[in-house]
Amino acid sequence: MNRGSRNSGHSDAHGRRGGVNLPALRGHNEALVLDLLRGAGPAGLGRTELAARTGLTPQAVSKITARLGADGLVAEAGRAASTGGKPRTLLRLVPDARHAVGVHLDRDVLRAVRVDLAGRVVADSGGPLDFGAGPEAAVEAVVRAVARLRDPDGPPLLGVGVAAPGPLDHRAGVMGRVTGFPSWKGFPLRGVLEGRLGLPVLLDKDTNAGAAAAAGAWLRATWPEPGSEVDVAGAGAVGADAAAPAGDGLAGGGPHTCVYLHVGTGLGAGLWLGGGVYRGARSAAGEFGHQVLLLDGPPCRCGARGCVEVLCLEAVARGDLPGAARIVGEAAANLVALLDVDRVLLGGRVVASAPDVFVAGVGAVLAARALDPARPVVALAGAGVAEGAAEMALTSLFGRAG
């Protein structure tokens, strides 16, 4: 019934493990089924297939799907062709059973989206933001944006995902020392927003939200466009990401390993490893800008020499975008080799200024250095960071680690 108050402790994909009790077990299995149904798209899946994929007995699947049906999350979707006996009745996720909100706090703009359970944008809102004006003003802006997105007649909201720049403590929901904005250091953004909004709030780095968007794009591709509402504010966000979801060699439920590379005033990476965002021991993973690519190269503001960031931004400064793309490509190839990455997504202002140059440039280096020429796939980050933030809020239903 009350699916918001799920028991806390169960196995994270990358965090500490906790004990599992009966409610947590139920939640895990329900999330698993929902995740499979989400990956199946509007065509749906039969109970037998769900049983085979989860490893549960058909009877258990029937009980679980009955509960989900009572909650309105799942509905019947016709029958499949018979395989020699009674045809299986297909079950489909009801995308409008719940919604979630994602907010992207950037340095000068705020963008917020409301998405359905398939991750599709149902409504969006946004406007200018002066990040330097301090946390209080930003909180007000977020509260106003969420209020505009809220629909009293619509389905309940699962939560709000907030993507913010710079270092921050994901667990505590506290901002870190954002370069150039000292007033934000230590601000408990998650707690404050939860108090103001009365909804669960997740706070994470914008690059991690980008990685979540990259992983979620795979799933979104299995669902048709919702119809009217279209993403407008995402400047230069071309959907070069319509690769066929099938035949990816994956069991289902999205790509195994995605990397989101952000090239803006700095360089950052979001890592989606094995079905969840990887944050490292102290939420500091993804430091991509200061990977050394040229030993004893030009000095960087970080103190080292020959970092990706210096090399790339120098190339950008002298107008050599193909050169910058090559630099990013070499660093990306290092990362792809190290982590066995499936997909590389590119985003950020510099990329948006010349998307084709970067996709081609990075793709060329990756193809030259990859062992498997078909991998990894390089694409533009079609979905914005706000969509990724919303995606993270959806994980309370689909069970991926948050």
Q: Does 186 bind DNA (CB under 7 A)?
A: no
Burial of residue 372 (number of CB atoms within 10 Å: 0-12, 13-18, 19+): exposed
Q: Could you tell which of DNA, its own copies, none binds residue 283, using a CB distance below 5 to 8 A set by kind? A: its own copies
Distance between CA atoms of residues 104 and 162, nearest Å: 6
Nearer to DNA, 53 or 256 (CB): 53
Q: Which partner, its own copies, DNA, none, binds residue 52 by CB below 5 to 8 Å per kind?
A: none
Draw the binding track, 236-255, toward its own copies (x: CB under 8 A; -: no contact).
Answer: --------------xx-x-x
Q: How many CB atoms lie under 10 A from the CB of residue 319? A: 8
Please identify, among the stretches 53-61, 100-108, 111-119, 191-199, the one whose residues bind its own copies according to the rule CB under 8 A. 53-61
Q: What track of x and - describes contact with DNA for positions 16 through 35 (by CB under 7 A)?
A: ----xxxx-xx--x------
Whole-angstrom Cα distance, residue 76 to residue 70? 12
Among 238, 249, 213, residue whose Cα is nearest residue 375: 249
Binder to its own copies among 3, 20, 169, 191 (CB under 8 A)? 20
| Angstrom distance (rounded) from CA 206 to CA 191 | 18
Q: Which stretch binds its own copies (CB under 8 A): 75-83, 94-102, 364-372, 385-393?
A: 364-372
- 8, 18, 83, 302: which one contacts DNA (CB under 7 A)? 83
Per rule CB under 8 A, count of chain residues that contact its own copies = 70
DSSP string of 89-144, one letter each residue: EEEEE-GGG-EEEEEEE-SSEEEEEEEETT--EEEEEEEE--GGG-HHHHHHHHHH
The site partner of 286 among its own copies, DNA, none (C-beta below 5 to 8 Å per kind) is its own copies
User: ∠ at Cα 10 (146, 245), nearest 5°?
Assistant: 65
Q: Among DNA, its own copies, none, what binds residue 17 when CB lies within 5 to 8 Å by partner kind? A: its own copies
As a whole number of angstroms, the longest Cα–Cα distance in the chain is 71
Q: Which residues bind DNA (CB under 7 A)?
A: 20-23, 25-26, 29, 46-48, 56-60, 62-64, 66, 82-89
